[in-house]
């Protein structure tokens, strides 16, 4: 089966139009904006400017850099409503979610600002002298962001990098450049130096590749598909360029019979953001004795989901990002596939009904591949070992949930499952102050959390001899 890529996102061999970027409102298909696309020369100029800005930024006193980032957080705070409204229009997010996203960017700025003065090295005991380490900025960091959470994911790469003393050139996704552009304007309003944080909308195959290949870029932070991530990693390898990759997921929701079944089988664990979430719990693994009960619950819940324009207060699930993403999702869901289904609007907009596939084999494409839409598979398991085996039976390892009232079992299962972000009796995944990232093909490295700034530094070790010159 071949699965199409989203609109405007040319693949490695594709022939998508490489002109200006047309931003559509995914709920109406109306044009929100037309944005010029950066070419390789524009990337080169941006990196040159960023290199000069970084030298000056790193030379500022840590207190001054921290103060500027806090001022930037205040500026974002006074624009939360505006940023959220932009996210609703360009990405089709529900207003409540979009407000959370803008607030997440603001809070991460404050958290990162708190790290500037705490980015300390170590003193290590050695004979014959002193040994100290320094965490030095890398230089210019390239951030390549996706369209599913345009604002937070841009922030997760950019803000800790800035706090660690780097400059940032950010390339947002083709379909969603507007919030990132606004964040860069707000940085200037807050007094951050010119060219320190630049946003270059552009095509992945042109501006994205140019950023990855540029010798003046010390590190790439990439969030997107595993396929493109693999290419980014290969190209970075040519220059031994540092790389953090946040890639796909196919996360399990492991529901044992003793769990709070209604909370465990919350359909918004895979429907939030219309399922366009790398942490979506799209593999609902249910102990066989409660399979029917969970299926009945999900059927009722899916029927109650209100899919529609996010600006309608009654809406509980919005559109997908593009027509091509709808086609991609549809390619996993044949009309005659056994499934529980909710409704979706007709007419303009990129709609797909909330769906739970009930007849999939664990090795089918729908059960193993990232669909990135409002589609989950429901699979039975027999016992703990069977649950762990099924949970790990994908190439991914990003997140997952374990639902049980048996504490020992919860601990055993979370220790066994090979994934970077697990939750017990909860579907939460991401906090800016805890580490986030994937095992296996879900990625390389971690973002956020206490080590967020360190990921944008090199460690320098210096030995100072205390033995004087020979007499």
Residue 467 to residue 81: CA distance in whole angstroms: 62
Q: By CB under 6 A, is residue 5 in contact with ligand TXE?
A: yes
Structure token pair of residue 376: 């989950």
Count of residues in contact with ligand TXE, rule CB under 6 A:
30
The residue from 87, 278, 369, 447 that is catalytic is: 278
278 touches 246 (CB < 8 A): yes
Taking the complex as a whole, how short is the minimal distance between the CB of residue 100 and ligand TXE, in angstroms? 17
Q: By CB under 6 A, is residue 370 in contact with ligand TXE?
A: yes
How buried is 159 (Cβ within 10 angstroms: 0-12 exposed, 13-18 middle, 19+ buried)?
A: buried
Q: By CB under 6 A, is residue 142 in contact with ligand TXE?
A: no
Taking the complex as a whole, how short is the minimal distance between the CB of residue 9 and ligand TXE, in angstroms? 4
- Measured from the Cβ of residue 2, the count of other Cβ atoms closer than 10 Å reads 5
Of these, 150, 208, 275, 349, which contacts ligand TXE (CB under 6 A)? 208
Q: By CB under 6 A, is residue 151 in contact with ligand TXE?
A: no
278 is catalytic: yes
Chain residues 235-274 in contact with ligand TXE, contact rule CB under 6 A: 246-248
Taking the complex as a whole, how short is the minimal distance between the CB of residue 342 and ligand TXE, in angstroms? 21
Handedness of CA 242, 244, 245, 250 (dihedral sign): positive
Of these, 54, 198, 223, 401, which contacts ligand TXE (CB under 6 A)? 223
Closest chain position to ligand TXE (CB): 204
Q: Say which residue the tokens 């708190």 belong to.
A: 114
Structure token pair of residue 45: 């100029």
What phi, psi does 457 have (nearest 5°)? -135, 160
* Alpha helices per DSSP H over 318-406: 323-330, 365-368, 384-391
Piece of the chain touching ligand TXE by CB under 6 A; list 25-33, 69-77, 82-90, 146-154: 146-154
The DSSP symbol for 229 reads H
Instruction: Kindly tell me which of 113 and 247 has the beta carbon lying closer to ligand TXE.
Output: 247
Residue 155 to residue 447: CA distance in whole angstroms: 11
3-state secondary structure of 157: helix
Of these, 75, 148, 273, 287, which contacts ligand TXE (CB under 6 A)? 148
Piece of the chain touching ligand TXE by CB under 6 A; list 38-46, 207-215, 258-266, 301-309: 207-215
The residue from 90, 246, 301, 370 that is catalytic is: 246
3-state secondary structure of 217: strand
Q: By CB under 6 A, is residue 394 in contact with ligand TXE?
A: no
246 is catalytic: yes
The set of catalytic residues is 246, 278
């Amino acid at each position: 089966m071949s699965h199409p890529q989203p609109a405007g996102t040319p693949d490695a061999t594709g022939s998508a139009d490489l002109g200006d970027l047309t931003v559509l409102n995914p709920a109406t298909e109306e044009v929100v904006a037309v944005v010029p696309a950066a070419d390789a020369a524009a990337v080169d100029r941006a990196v040159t400017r960023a290199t000069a800005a970084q030298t000056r930024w790193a030379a500022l006193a840590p207190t001054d850099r921290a103060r500027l980032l806090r001022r930037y957080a205040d500026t974002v705070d006074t624009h939360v409503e505006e940023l959220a409204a932009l996210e609703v229009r360009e990405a089709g997010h529900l207003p409540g979610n979009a407000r959370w996203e803008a607030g997440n960017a603001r809070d991460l700025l404050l958290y990162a600002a708190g790290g500037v003065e705490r980015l300390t090295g170590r003193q290590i005991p050695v004979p014959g002298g002193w040994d100290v380490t320094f965490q030095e900025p890398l230089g210019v960091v390239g951030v390549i962001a996706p369209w599913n959470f345009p604002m937070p994911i841009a922030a997760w790469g950019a803000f800790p990098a800035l706090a660690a003393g780097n400059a940032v050139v950010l390339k947002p996704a083709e379909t969603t450049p507007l919030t990132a552009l606004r964040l860069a304007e707000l940085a200037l309003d807050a007094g951050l130096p010119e060219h320190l944080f630049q946003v270059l909308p552009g095509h992945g195959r042109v501006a994205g590749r140019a950023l990855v290949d540029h010798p003046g870029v010390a590190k790439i932070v990439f969030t997107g598909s595993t396929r493109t991530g693999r290419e980014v990693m290969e190209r970075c390898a040519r220059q031994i360029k540092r790389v953090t990759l946040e890639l796909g997921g196919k996360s399990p929701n492991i529901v044992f019979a003793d769990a709070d079944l209604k909370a465990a089988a919350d359909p918004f664990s895979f429907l939030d953001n219309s399922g366009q979430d790398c942490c979506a719990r799209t593999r609902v693994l249910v102990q066989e004795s409660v399979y029917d009960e969970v299926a009945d619950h999900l059927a009722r819940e899916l029927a109650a989901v209100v899919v529609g324009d996010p600006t309608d207060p009654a809406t509980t699930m919005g559109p997908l990002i593009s027509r091509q993403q709808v086609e991609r999702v549809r390619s996993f869901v044949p009309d005659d596939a056994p499934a529980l289904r909710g409704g979706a609007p007709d007419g303009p907009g990129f709609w797909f009904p909330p769906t739970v596939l009930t007849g999939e084999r664990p090795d089918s494409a729908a059960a193993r591949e990232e669909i990135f839409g409002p589609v989950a598979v429901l699979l039975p398991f027999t016992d703990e070992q069977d649950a762990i085996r099924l949970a790990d039976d994908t190439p991914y390892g990003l997140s997952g949930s374990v639902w049980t009232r048996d504490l020992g079992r919860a601990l055993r299962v979370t220790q066994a499952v090979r994934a970077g972000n697990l939750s017990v009796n909860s579907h939460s995944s991401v906090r800016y102050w805890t580490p986030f990232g994937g095992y296996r093909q879900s990625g390389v490295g971690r973002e956020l959390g206490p080590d967020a700034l360190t990921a944008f530094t090199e460690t320098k070790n210096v030995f100072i001899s205390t033995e004087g010159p020979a007499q």
